[in-house]
Copies of this chain bind each other. A is one copy, B any other.
Amino acid sequence: MSTIKLTLEYEGTAYAGWQRQPNRPTIQEQVELALFQITQENIPVVAAGRTDAGVHALGQVASFHSEKLLAPSKWAHALNRYLPKDIAVLKSEEVETSFHARYSAIGKRYEYHIRLHACRSALERNRAWHLRSALDLGLMQQTIPYLLGTHDYSSFEGPRSDTKTQICSISHMAIHQQESLLIMQIEADRFLKQMVRAIVGTLVEVGRKRRHPHELPSIIQARDRRTAGETAPPQGLYLVEVLYGIR
């Protein structure tokens, strides 16, 4: 038996997220369906991040076990033949059988895209959060140091989560603007449900001068979702990379 690690890119627009749900299209279902078409077996696939409806991935990682004798690198091309055009496997490789896409991950990198423009965009319509007024980038950047480090991020956790601990370590954050596109990058060992989107929503309120950067410590300490900002919409979010230790 071999364990295969897949690196996946997808546009989340047409899907109810990664995780299988009854009667709704999901990315997990499409990957498992493609695997069935190759192997004639029902093989469960585990992903590093259970991305929400409308969220995209540039480097989602998924893993599965198979008895099929196929060269590890061939899985990518075989799956790409059966997957819909908005889901693509970028790489397939064999890993140790103990590898688990979610539990073996030591970190993840996300990006969030905001379009700042008086008019809506055609090409970015499903790929960025559209805001019509400028944001104070300097104030948003001043907020970053308060968010870095190891904290209980309950104030940034979405509803109905089954996580045992809310403690995460954010190791890196950056915000920059390229013309009308504002890009936020964030890296942590783990993320709570809708955590990036709640952080973005809070940062946007700072950028709109409705909150001050120095309010962040008390928001974090409150451990109460109602103290932080709104949840930014899903279409601006990209799972960029999943980090694993040296094998």
Q: Which residues of A contact B (CB under 8 A)?
A: 9-11, 56, 58, 76-77, 80, 85-91, 117-123, 125, 127
A4-B154 Cα distance, complex, nearest whole Å? 52
Q: Determine whether the beta carbon of A123 is less than 8 Å from that of B80.
A: no
* 21 examples of A-B residue contacts, CB within 8 angstroms: A9-B121, A9-B122, A10-B122, A10-B123, A11-B122, A11-B123, A58-B123, A80-B119, A80-B120, A85-B120, A85-B125, A86-B122, A86-B125, A87-B122, A88-B119, A88-B121, A88-B125, A89-B119, A90-B119, A90-B121, A91-B119
Shortest C-beta distance, A126 to chain B (Å), equals 8
CB proximity of A72 to chain B, nearest CB, Å: 14
Q: In whole angstroms, what is the CA distance A58 to B121 when docked?
A: 9
Q: How far, in angstroms, from A87 to B90 measured CA to CA in the complex? A: 30
Pick from B80, B90, B119: contact of A77, CB under 8 Å: B119
Query: What 9 A-B pairs come out closest when comparing CB atoms?
Result: A88-B122, A9-B122, A10-B122, A85-B125, A86-B122, A90-B119, A88-B120, A11-B122, A11-B123
Q: What's the minimum C-beta distance from A186 to chain B, rounded to whole angstroms?
A: 20
Residue from the set A80, A119, A125 with the largest chain B CB neighbour count within 10 Å: A119
A122 to B80, CA, bound (A): 10
Alpha-carbon distance A89/B88, docked complex (angstroms) = 31
